A = this chain, B = another copy of it.
Amino acid sequence: MSVTNFEANLKHRCSSCSLREICLPVGLDAEEMTRLDDLVKRRRRVFSGQSLFRAGDPLQALAAVRTGFFKIYEISVSGQEQITGFPMSGELMGLDAISTGAHRGNAVALEDSEVCEIPFTRLEGLLADLPRLQHQFHKLLSGAIATDHALVMILGTMTAEFKVAAFLLNLSDRRGQRGEDPSEILLPMSREEIGNYLGLKLETVSRMFSKLRDQNLIATEGRKTFIRDREGLRALCQQGSDT
């Protein structure tokens, strides 16, 4: 629950961060980067299972994942939990809190992780000075909407098998963007969490993993998952929808 805090003595900086081509600083020059660095001083470690923020917490800072993996979930009026995303390195958390000033989601680390905190009010101040940063911030907000639409598409139109295939391809692609091996995925989330995210039960997720394995599209070693036939998976997605 509590969170370790190891300030700027570990001279982490956006300018030297390997994620600067994915995260907030895309397209900034050296001077602009420095001003952003001034803002993003505080890093936090969040250990596996710990919570970074909870629904209802006032929005102080956006958080960019530096290393690790999170899940974001919300509780519905009927008390149901729904995972709305699995942010990984370079992705911002807390964007949906701007509208009300309070977090709507709960952020829990799925493995030992590190985040960069970006005080939101100060960020808005900086945006007015740095048009490129402003534009990048808008692109990230807009991208979050597009990501959500992709999930809506999956939930609304796809069969169980397709959902799982699309989920694995998505994780694989995101690994690829970060220069990691896209065909080897160490899933930090349980079958139940995957099912919750995709609108399926954990048993169904498990069955679909088995089914994909039987078709030689993937291989599994516990949570470690290998993409064996990326094109086959993609082809499956292109027809694997409800009527």
| A residues with CB within 8 A of B | 74, 76-80, 82, 84, 95-100, 104-105, 124-125, 127-129, 131, 134-135, 138-146, 148-149, 151-153, 155-158, 162, 196-199, 234, 237-242
Contacts and interface: CB of A to CB of B under 8 A. Distances in A.
Contacts of A199: 155-157
Contacts of A143: 99
A140 B199 CA distance: 27
Contacts of A145: 95-96, 99, 141, 144-145, 148
A145 B242 CA distance: 26
Contacts of A100: 146
A128 B138 CA distance: 13
25 contacts: A76-B158, A77-B238, A78-B162, A78-B239, A78-B241, A82-B156, A84-B152, A96-B142, A98-B138, A98-B139, A99-B145, A100-B146, A104-B146, A104-B149, A125-B131, A127-B127, A127-B134, A128-B128, A148-B152, A155-B155, A155-B156, A155-B199, A156-B198, A156-B199, A157-B199
A151 B141 CA distance: 18
A158 B78 CA distance: 9
A76 B239 CA distance: 10
A105 B79 CA distance: 32
A216 B134 CA distance: 51
Contacts of A148: 145, 148-149, 152
A86 to B, nearest CB: 13
B196 A156 contact: yes
B157 A80 contact: yes
A82 B134 contact: no
B139 A96 contact: no
